[in-house]
Chain A
Amino acid sequence: MTISPSITSPERRPVRLVGLLPWLFAAVVVGYAMVVGGYAATVVSFALIYAVFVTGLNLFMGFAAQVSFGQNAFAAIGGYLSAVLTASHGWAPVPAMLLGIAAAVLVAAIVGFPTLRLKGHYLAMGTLAIGLITYEITVEWQSVTQGYMGISGIPPFGIGPYEVTSDRGQLILLSLVVAACAFAAARIRRSRFGRALSAVAGSEEAAMALGIEVARYKLLAFLLSAGFAALAGSLFVHVVGFVSPEVFGLHMVIVTFTMLYVGGIGTVAGPLVGALIVSLLPETFRAFKDYQDLAYGAVLIVLLIYAPRGLASLFSPRGRS
């Protein structure tokens, strides 16, 4: 990196435009899915739901540089509360979703308070346990969750008499939610709150020495992340109309981690780019038949070698923006 005086305006322009590329890519993919509809719309819908989840994960893992293998627990809480309240108790989707988010944040506060005293690998193990326990509960608490059978007949998302049932309607709704989440992440990034998270990520000791209450900011990032996870869980059950324990299992942890790292951990656009790429790649290689997974894996490795800080970081002037 060369030491040059602050960037002058003629140089700054292209940098800004390049920064828009990830968003343009996302818009093109969503637009394509809207035109084509059908299977493509389903794949992109799932990708957008994952993008909400990963945006939250990124606040905790990217902005604050902590580790959690257990955010799927909060998606499960959001998803199951939405499912049970709307399908079994006749609630409207919006209040059920809000209650689900509130419940997930509350559980995150109760669980996070002791768990966040752990660091590094220990925090990873502790949070993994949260996910596993929640999975067991969704399997065993049959009177409410119906175990492996799952809950079906969940109504589509809607407000009052308006229900979002079409593929296009769902894509528009999900795009709006993702845009709102990315907007929130961008605003957090450039605020006193976001800087405090970056400080915790950079050096906990230096942060403490500057008066930042490290434990408090870690917990807040964890709660936010849980809120996003619950929102994603709730969106999922309304889009699919069905939920079972497998939906929020270990598979979700692995997929969302891949999305976060491929897209660009710590960036604002990374979660969305990662969610789209990781969802679309296996589809792209469908023609490879038996070798589909092999090709998918190979591409992931190449991506992580040539863009170790994720695809979105390629388009930002600094490693993280």
Chain B
Amino acid sequence: MTRLRLEGVTRRFGGLVAVDDVSFDVPAEGVTAVIGPNGAGKTTLFNLISGFLPPSAGRITFEGRDITGRPPAEIAAGGLVRTFQLVKLFEDLSVLDNVKVGCHLRGKAGLFAALLRPASARREEQAVEARSRELLAFAGLAAMADEPASALPYGRQRMLELARAMAAGPRLILLDEPAAGLNTEESAALSRIIRRIAEDGTSVLLIEHDMTLVMNTADRVVVVDFGRKIAQGTPAQVRADPAVIAAYLGTGKPSADKPAVQEAPHG
């Protein structure tokens, strides 16, 4: 079963083609990774899928429904939730409240429920509280529930963002460089958590620079370079693909003079 399908997705910024006629499928099962050198158009691709940018051409379907160019909140409500390369937490809120915000889509209490607190709203609030604490435990943040989010160390902030996104109950989660800035140990823990998410039935699509994470975590890899898809397959297939090796390590031609595989995580 296909969860997400991209057909000829293209995005131009003036004369620059950031994403050029990219097509691939994300199956419901497992973890799919998009890799590519810096500036290959990966984050633009995520922005197109999650509705933060409209594509110039092409079609994006999620579970068979056309979501091309729909607003981000609507796409999220449909079950496709993303995280950001630079963590965007609600810094003034506590760790717990961040995850509670993530539960927004699972509730329906409005202004009058807030003021009058009918029984239905109290039940909903209890469910939100229970679900949020469960997710904090899953992300290893249970002991920090009442801390302000801004007080967490960076690695924990990334975990919190992941827990918050999962609180929305997505059927597909887009992770934009989730391992950026994490140390080896944190990155290994993240890899286990991503596998758990996939095993629990949420499809995962991630962009990553950390090759160890990709090779250990992903079931399928899509490689992009200069906005184009250049390869697709299992981690092992992709690693052996001459086009991928050329893109990452260079072929001696000046046009392929790109950064190496083990580069700094931020780009």
- Specify which of A1, A188, A191 lies most central, judged by the most chain B CB atoms within 10 Å of its CB: A191
B254 within 8 A of partner (CB): no
Chain B residues in 8 Å Cβ range of A287:
none
A187–B90 CB distance below 8 A: no
Question: In chain B, residues 137-169, which have Cβ atoms closer than 8 Å to a Cβ of chain A?
Answer: 143-148, 151-153, 164-165, 167-168
Binary interface encoding of chain B residues 36-73 relative to chain A, with 1 for a CB under 8 A from any of its CBs, else 0: 00000000000000101000000000000000000111
B267 to chain A, nearest CB (A): 19
A206 within 8 A of partner (CB): yes
Which of A3-11, A80-88, A103-111, A252-260 sits within the interface? A3-11
CA distance in complex: A57, B50 (Å)? 33
B52–A212 CB distance below 8 A: no
B104–A318 CB distance below 8 A: no
B23 within 8 A of partner (CB): no
Assuming the contacts A192-B104, A193-B109, A199-B104, asked whether A206 and B84 have C-beta atoms less than 8 A apart, the reply is yes
CA distance in complex: A153, B52 (Å)? 56
Chain B residues in 8 Å Cβ range of A214:
73
CA distance in complex: A289, B111 (Å)? 48
A196–B92 CB distance below 8 A: no
Assuming the contacts A188-B111, A194-B114, asked whether A210 and B92 have C-beta atoms less than 8 A apart, the reply is no
B217 to chain A, nearest CB (A): 22
B197 within 8 A of partner (CB): no
Chain B residues in 8 Å Cβ range of A266:
92
B73–A187 CB distance below 8 A: no
Assuming the contacts A201-B92, A205-B84, A210-B101, asked whether A192 and B76 have C-beta atoms less than 8 A apart, the reply is no
Chain B residues in 8 Å Cβ range of A320:
92
Assuming the contacts A203-B90, A205-B88, A214-B73, asked whether A187 and B81 have C-beta atoms less than 8 A apart, the reply is no
A211–B88 CB distance below 8 A: no
B240 to chain A, nearest CB (A): 36
B128 within 8 A of partner (CB): yes
B114–A318 CB distance below 8 A: no
Chain A residues in 8 Å Cβ range of B128:
192
B213 within 8 A of partner (CB): no
B199 to chain A, nearest CB (A): 23
Of the residues A193, A194, A202, A208, contact of B91 by C-beta under 8 Å? A202
Of the residues A3, A198, A211, A319, contact of B144 by C-beta under 8 Å? A3
A198–B72 CB distance below 8 A: no
CA distance in complex: A198, B89 (Å)? 11
Assuming the contacts A5-B143, A193-B111, asked whether A210 and B102 have C-beta atoms less than 8 A apart, the reply is yes
Assuming the contacts A6-B143, A210-B104, asked whether A193 and B110 have C-beta atoms less than 8 A apart, the reply is yes
Assuming the contacts A193-B110, A193-B111, A212-B73, asked whether A205 and B148 have C-beta atoms less than 8 A apart, the reply is no
Binary interface encoding of chain A residues 207-224 relative to chain B, with 1 for a CB under 8 A from any of its CBs, else 0: 111111110000010001
CA distance in complex: A187, B52 (Å)? 32
B107 within 8 A of partner (CB): yes
Chain A residues in 8 Å Cβ range of B147:
1, 3
Of the residues B76, B90, B110, B121, contact of A199 by C-beta under 8 Å? B90
B187 within 8 A of partner (CB): no
B113 within 8 A of partner (CB): yes
B100 within 8 A of partner (CB): yes
Chain B residues in 8 Å Cβ range of A194:
114
A211–B73 CB distance below 8 A: yes
Of the residues B73, B83, B113, B143, contact of A208 by C-beta under 8 Å? B73
Question: In chain B, residues 79-108, which have Cβ atoms closer than 8 Å to a Cβ of chain A?
Answer: 81-84, 88-94, 97, 100-105, 107
Complex: chain B residue closest to A318, CB-CB: B148
> A residues engaging B (CB < 8 A)?
1, 3, 5-7, 184, 187-188, 191-196, 198-199, 201-203, 205-214, 220, 224, 266, 318-320
A6-B144, A201-B90, A210-B105 known; 13 new pairs, CB 8 Å cut-off, are A1-B148, A5-B143, A7-B146, A188-B115, A191-B121, A195-B93, A202-B91, A205-B52, A206-B84, A206-B88, A209-B72, A209-B82, A318-B94
Q: List 16 A-B contacts (CB under 8 A).
A: A1-B147, A5-B143, A192-B109, A193-B114, A194-B114, A199-B101, A202-B91, A205-B84, A205-B88, A208-B71, A209-B88, A210-B164, A210-B165, A210-B168, A224-B111, A320-B92
